[in-house]
Structure 1
Amino acid sequence: MKISYNWLKQFLKVDWEAEKTGELLTDLGLEVEGIETVESIKGSLEGVVIGKVLTCIQHPNADRLKITTVDLGNGDPIQIVCGAPNVAAGQTVAVATIGTTLYDDKGEGFVIKKGKIRGEESHGMICAEDELGLGKSHDGIMVLENDLIAGTLASKVFNIEKDLVFEIGLTPNRADAMSHLGTARDLRAGLIQQNITLELISPSVSAFHVDDRTLKFDVVVEDSEKAPRYTGVTISDITVKESPEWIQNKLKAIGVTPINNIVDVTNYVLHEIGQPLHAFDAAKFRAQKVIVKTLPTGTKFTTLDGVERELHEEDLMICNGGEEPMCIAGVYGGLHSGVTDNTTSIFLESAYFNPVAIRKTAKRHGLNTDASFRFERGIDSNLTEYALKRAANLIIEVAGGKVSSEIVDLYPTKIEDFQVFLSYEKMDRIIGAPIPRETVKNILASLDIKFNSVTEGGLGLTIPSYRVDVTREADVIEEILRVYGYNNVEYSHKLNTSISFSEFDDVKIENVVANQLISQGFNETMANSLTKADYVSLTEILNPEHNVTMLNPLSGDLGVMRQSLLFSGLESVIYNINRKNSSLKFFEFGKTYHHFESGYSEQKHLTLFVSGNRTKDSWNLSQRSSDFFYVKGIVSALLQRLGVQNVKTTPTKNDIFSEGITLSIGKIKLVDLGVVKRPILKEFGIKQEVLFADFNWENVLKVGGKSQVKVAELPKFQAVKRDFALLLDKEITFSEIYNLAFQAEKSFLKEVDLFDVYEGEKLEEGKKSYAVSFLIQDENKTLDEKQIDKIMQKLQQTFEKNVGAILR
């Protein structure tokens, strides 16, 4: 949330430096994340001065250029070459002097330099209004009033406004502070604790009056549960145009783009006092009637962004007399009901909508607007009429017109303020130290909390309607504490703690593994457990029916809990690659979540992601790309560090890999590792190879350090290791090679291992190269060369016959 300091000072005449004010706001719970300087015109026209054109003659070498001499008030006229068709002697103009930086409509600056134009020197630039950011016209230079004195700074003539804007990280419960008035209320309470008492100045609406009753609208609220209070008024004879500069400057300072004077006023009041409003073109309503109701599921409605949406039966709609939808209440307006340049009369709405209903509708349609943001969190039900009058006054001020109806205010059941009893004893116990009772009363009074009763044991309190988050005694205590100051609470220097005994400390094991990975150049990542539901469609091993779905997701990208750590890891990979960091080593400890027929399941995993070069660029190291064998070595070292022995290697059945293996002990699967398939990488925009290892951490902990030592006699006869470099079709997997090898040689073949995969320009299209090792051993005698060659020949023939392999 952005708060303008100039705007804030309209409510509270505070003269503190912005940094000091920001510190106090942070102490009050409105955390200031940054303070930005904002100018109504970028650069504040620094270096631009008023000049008088003394002479203007035709450029000798260009038909469209003129040579002027301009007095800048320093007694030394300068020569400027100007291409504007309207430049003439005797004019008063704005001149950008040498060294001045001007900015285009994209905010990019360019510096005015001394130069020659068609052979004639030019020592500055006579400016058009768009070149200074004072308008959009570029038909010619700006011609100013002649009474302006040469040499006067343009920033003084055009009243450039500078502002300081606070970026506040507001917590969701503080709906009351989502405006300049709300922030000023909190700041005032904080200043009182600093012994500074200032008056809170709220905008007056006493000037509001009804001019005539020629445009009366009937209003019907059919669902008062979703719309507990609804107010409206009509204003006619308005002129839609640009807003005055003071409104535009305020909105621009907080990042809101001005649209027209009517819409700008509704946005202005929204950010000023926190009440969303909506202006409808009155001519678009049939029978001058407003109906607030729900419509059947499937009803089509086109919103302001041009998107046709299907309504749900619980979506509250603003409809016209013909019961046609005009606006999604509290969320988004309709394409055909808003204010346009041709609008001459409006129906102005100010309402209090049910927060739960608005939140469901906004999330259902994937919409997040300034209005829904506030309605979802709860606004002040007593503010609607005041805000309506405030907006009506401003509209008449900036657009003309007159109020043409009485205010309609439908409020059948008044929302009562919360009543809370504050126990001093409980307050002291929760805070941990007593706060003087008079200080407590002063804090509560500064927060507009009223006293119903005062006893020795506590206070009976009425909470103001705008504090929808303060409903319990604990909430009141929190309010007292944040204004009093957490740093002002005295605390004991004695620390009490309990020590728990655990026979098996899995956190310690995680730290051991993390330290080993960090020593190998890995960085730990912590990804969100919420992810996109569509990711499961990238692999057949994950089932969409097993998704744990959020009932009320924050967005479509956070709709389900992850079934795999792969996809969130790939998001981190592409994030780094896009920022020129392509040599990556990541690891993450995290959980996966599944919804099976038997119930919900959580599983702990450790995942590794490796991509790019093994080491950072260095003058004394030759670069080597990370490959399958490199990652397998890292995985094997981790398992050995954890005491996992006798690991069996088999081809993986996991279809996320183009090449991969599974490491296991018996039937207990420990790790899947391999090269991630290119189609999956393509979904994330990753063009380089990514190697991925997925540890089933719970299984690793089961066998880690607990493997029984089996003693077996060492083979008396030496094993022999031979390698093949096989040229294969890309579709062939290591699993096929592995199985064919053991089918061909069951007696003496002990191990088959893949230690390198190559795909590159030197190979034929659609081909890849496998480097496969074979361990051959006879436990009863030493194998001779003939036997070994016979076995290897049998393997070669098997691969050639079954998968078309070619020995490289």
Structure 2
Amino acid sequence: MNIFILDSWLREHLQTKATPKQIGEYLSLCSQSVEKVTKIEDDWLYEIEITTNRPDCLSVYGLARELAVILPRFGLPAKLKSLEISQPVKTPDKKNLPLEVKIKDASLCPRFTAVIFDKVVIKPSPKIIQERLEKSGIRALNNVVDISNYLMLELGQPMHTFDYDKIKGAKMILRESAGGEKITTLDDQIRPLPDGTIIIEDGEGRIIDLCGIMGGKNSEVDEKTKKVLLFVQTYDPVRIRQACQKLAFRTEAASRFEKGVDPEGVLIAMGKAMEMFEKNCEAEIASQLIDIYPNPPQEKKVKLDINLVNKIMGIEISKKEIVNILESLGFVLETNQSSLMTVTVPHWRYDDISIPEDLIEEIARIYGYHRLPTNLPPMAVVSQNKIDFPKWEAKIKTALKFWGFTETVNYSMVSESILKNVEIKPEECLRIANPLSDEWVFLRPSLVPSLLQVASLNKKENLKIFELANVYLFQSENQLPEENLMLTGLVSGESFAKVKGVVESLLEELGIKEIEIKPYQLQKTFYGKIFHPSRRAEIIFKNNSLGIFGQLKKEKVFVFDLDFTQIVKDTNEIKKYQAIPKYPPIIEDLSFVIPEKTYVGE
């Protein structure tokens, strides 16, 4: 997000002799990127790109706070001027104009403040405010609206004003929208509200505010307004972002709320606004200050080890310098003789700083990335036996095609009906959150359903097809899915012995010999359900299962399903030379009498 700020405005909060060019250069080196510095009459305009994780820099004061730390690192003295309010936030001893506020869910609005002004005079803002707003890309309207926009740019705190007399029943209820509700916003657009959007309704149930985005037309301040309700608050950033995306509509205020606004800065913004209302609008405070703040955030503390700082930065930086950098950024440190320290995060960085690496990033950028040596870190060269999967894929595909197989390529998604055809439970599969259609809802846990689907559409009697692709297996709610590369083939019109021979020849082609073929005993798996009970087998090599093959129950169709990754791990490219026998072989036949139920693998 880019913002535009005048140099003269910045220097109201920053005491420094640094030139605009130096400010732009050093801010870009250590913090936010200054895209352009433009001369405008007797002033300078900065265009600055603010990263999403730094909403505290979306204001004149926030950038002044950054520069007060950065400029001294380059030998340029700089001091942040205190945010002085000529009078603290105060309200009349007796409440005059009533206002009832009800927040149905505190998580929607962590902090809500409001105050009412009477005898407001609507007129144009002072020239300096108009110029600063327009240079920053915001149109000046009138003194009331301009105050809220001005302080949003100066302090990073969006706020909103209502015509108090248009709020029916002097009542505000903040809640989530329900299905079918609409609001006409200040830009005269009728907007259908998605479920769960934060809104405010008055005592008659009229929606008067699309919270965090834009106010309602039915409560706007106009030239006839005499009483103004000033509303300064924070919202759940996730809800604001979701509303903007669903509405395809975003404002300057929404761009700040969706990134997170510091609730501890609300009263400062309110105090500045009250001061400006009295000065620029000739207004009188006509109510008690309402401040609803049920769950103030607890102090956030992060443990930091100096040894970890040096390890990640790749240099030796003293404990004293680390402490100086962090304290200059507003962090509070508890240190002792050890390398460990406890760092308390300032309230304006609560959403940004959570782990030690976040603190190390702060240290590194203020220390200066440009000062870090460009040497590569020492490292040992470790040889690895890397498996060349593409080579083995090509070899297997060539062998199968030589034996008359045709390769198929299917979607990774399957429908519920296809899964049920092979007795796979859909609830045990990975469901796609946003499927392309109702036919492609699940990620396939096996290639078998896809090949059976292909076979059902092909009337050829002798069919030989295969597929080499990934399958996706659900693990648990707390684990990532397992992704396996499988080789699956389907043969019709052949015998069990012939399919067994294909599998053995395929493995022998890859150097895998002396395999064991054992009966497949797992009845509860979908293999156990679809295969003929006496015509299914598991392939074992060095105590590892390479896969299974067998005949389907209902048809003379054979399937082999092999773990390609395990097969490639067990491959042996080195073929031992065997000399040609000096003497002709003598072949003898041996006959055995064995029980009928003895398996061939035994």
TM-score grouping bracket, smaller chain normalisation: 0.5 to 0.7
Amino acid in structure 2 at the alignment position of 1:486: Y
Report the equivalent of 2:517. Answer: none
Residue 218 (structure 2) pairs with residue 336 (structure 1): yes
Residue 369 (structure 2) pairs with residue 486 (structure 1): yes
Alpha-carbon offset, residue 317 of structure 1: 0.9
Q: Distance in 2 between matches of 1:550 and 1:480?
A: 40
Residues 392-418 of structure 1 show CA distances to partners (whole Å, capped at 9, x for unaligned) of 111221111111112100011111231
Report the equivalent of 2:58. Answer: 178
Residue 326 (structure 2) pairs with residue 444 (structure 1): yes
Residue 91 (structure 2) pairs with residue 210 (structure 1): yes
Distance 1:374 1:549, change over 3 A: farther
* 1:282-361 paired onto structure 2 within 5 Å: 282-361=164-243
Distance 1:549 1:164, change over 3 A: farther
Kept in 2, the 8 Å contact 1:286–1:321? The answer is yes
Q: Distance in 1 between matches of 2:442 and 2:265?
A: 51
Q: Distance in 2 between matches of 1:494 and 1:198?
A: 36
Q: Distance in 1 between matches of 2:334 and 2:19?
A: 38
Kept in 2, the 8 Å contact 1:28–1:186? The answer is no
Report the equivalent of 1:469. Answer: 352
Q: Distance in 2 between matches of 1:351 and 1:428?
A: 41
Report the equivalent of 1:586. Answer: none
Alpha-carbon offset, residue 345 of structure 1: 1.1
Distance 1:454 1:351, change over 3 A: farther
Kept in 1, the 8 Å contact 2:98–2:170? The answer is yes
* 1:234-245 paired onto structure 2 within 5 Å: 234-245=116-127
Q: Distance in 2 between matches of 1:489 and 1:390?
A: 42
1:318 aligns to what SS in structure 2? Answer: strand
Alpha-carbon offset, residue 287 of structure 1: 1.9
If asked which structure has higher relative contact order (CA below 8 Å, sep 6+), I would say 2
Amino acid in structure 2 at the alignment position of 1:429: K
Kept in 2, the 8 Å contact 1:433–1:491? The answer is no
1:360 aligns to what SS in structure 2? Answer: helix
Report the equivalent of 2:34. Answer: 32
- Range moving further from structure 2, 345-354 or 29-38: 29-38
Residue 285 (structure 2) pairs with residue 403 (structure 1): yes
Kept in 2, the 8 Å contact 1:291–1:318? The answer is yes
2:254 aligns to what SS in structure 1? Answer: helix
2:175 aligns to what SS in structure 1? Answer: strand
Alpha-carbon offset, residue 217 of structure 1: 1.5
Distance 1:495 1:374, change over 3 A: same
* 1:45-124 paired onto structure 2 within 5 Å: none
Q: Distance in 1 between matches of 2:103 and 2:162?
A: 17
Report the equivalent of 2:447. Answer: none
Q: Distance in 2 between matches of 1:344 and 1:209?
A: 21
Amino acid in structure 2 at the alignment position of 1:238: V
Alpha-carbon offset, residue 264 of structure 1: 0.6
Amino acid in structure 2 at the alignment position of 1:198: A
Q: Distance in 1 between matches of 2:162 and 2:432?
A: 38
Q: Distance in 2 between matches of 1:289 and 1:317?
A: 13
Residues 579-600 of structure 1 show CA distances to partners (whole Å, capped at 9, x for unaligned) of xxxxxxxxxxxxxx99944539
Of 134, 139, 149, 1:267 maps to: 149
Residue 44 (structure 2) pairs with residue 200 (structure 1): no
Alpha-carbon offset, residue 432 of structure 1: 1.4
Report the equivalent of 1:365. Answer: 247
Distance 1:454 1:348, change over 3 A: farther
Kept in 2, the 8 Å contact 1:225–1:354? The answer is yes
Alpha-carbon offset, residue 322 of structure 1: 2.1
Alpha-carbon offset, residue 213 of structure 1: 3.3
Query: What TM-score do you get using the length of structure 2 for normalisation?
Result: 0.62
Of 110, 113, 121, 1:228 maps to: 110
Amino acid in structure 2 at the alignment position of 1:180: V
Residue 443 (structure 2) pairs with residue 599 (structure 1): yes
Residue 11 (structure 2) pairs with residue 9 (structure 1): yes
Residues 414-448 of structure 1 show CA distances to partners (whole Å, capped at 9, x for unaligned) of 11231111111111111111212111111111111
Alpha-carbon offset, residue 214 of structure 1: 2.1
2:78 aligns to what SS in structure 1? Answer: coil
Q: Distance in 1 between matches of 2:340 and 2:40?
A: 47
Kept in 1, the 8 Å contact 2:16–2:76? The answer is no
Count of residue pairs the alignment pairs up: 401
Q: Distance in 2 between matches of 1:267 and 1:490?
A: 44
Q: Percent identity?
A: 29
Residues 651-710 of structure 1 show CA distances to partners (whole Å, capped at 9, x for unaligned) of xxxxxxxxxxxxxxxx9xxxxxxxxxxxxxxxxxxxxxxxxxxxxxxxxxxxxxxxxxxx
1:451 aligns to what SS in structure 2? Answer: strand
Amino acid in structure 1 at the alignment position of 2:172: V
Q: Distance in 2 between matches of 1:437 and 1:290?
A: 52
Distance 1:34 1:456, change over 3 A: same
Amino acid in structure 2 at the alignment position of 1:17: T
Kept in 2, the 8 Å contact 1:30–1:169? The answer is yes
Q: Distance in 2 between matches of 1:35 and 1:293?
A: 43
Residues 540-583 of structure 1 show CA distances to partners (whole Å, capped at 9, x for unaligned) of xxxxxxxx9997xxxxxxxx9xx9xxxxxxxxxxxxxxxxxxxx
Report the equivalent of 1:190. Answer: 70
Flag structure 1 segments of 5+ consecutive residues without an equivalent: 40-161, 507-547, 552-559, 564-592, 601-666, 668-808
Amino acid in structure 2 at the alignment position of 1:447: L
Of 405, 411, 421, 2:303 maps to: 421
Kept in 2, the 8 Å contact 1:351–1:384? The answer is yes
Of 414, 434, 441, 2:316 maps to: 434
Alpha-carbon offset, residue 376 of structure 1: 0.8
Q: Distance in 2 between matches of 1:498 and 1:339?
A: 71
Distance 1:409 1:598, change over 3 A: closer
Q: CA RMSD in A?
A: 2.8
Distance 1:435 1:338, change over 3 A: same
Distance 1:484 1:595, change over 3 A: farther
Q: Distance in 1 between matches of 2:192 and 2:377?
A: 61
Amino acid in structure 2 at the alignment position of 1:300: K
Kept in 2, the 8 Å contact 1:450–1:462? The answer is yes
Q: Distance in 2 between matches of 1:494 and 1:421?
A: 26
Kept in 1, the 8 Å contact 2:17–2:76? The answer is no
* 1:730-769 paired onto structure 2 within 5 Å: none
Flag structure 2 segments of 5+ consecutive residues without an equivalent: 392-430, 445-464, 466-602
Amino acid in structure 2 at the alignment position of 1:320: D
Q: Distance in 2 between matches of 1:594 and 1:34?
A: 50
Alpha-carbon offset, residue 194 of structure 1: 3.0
Alpha-carbon offset, residue 206 of structure 1: 3.6
Distance 1:245 1:359, change over 3 A: same
Q: Distance in 2 between matches of 1:271 and 1:594?
A: 47
Q: Distance in 2 between matches of 1:392 and 1:174?
A: 27
Amino acid in structure 2 at the alignment position of 1:165: L
Alpha-carbon offset, residue 458 of structure 1: 2.0
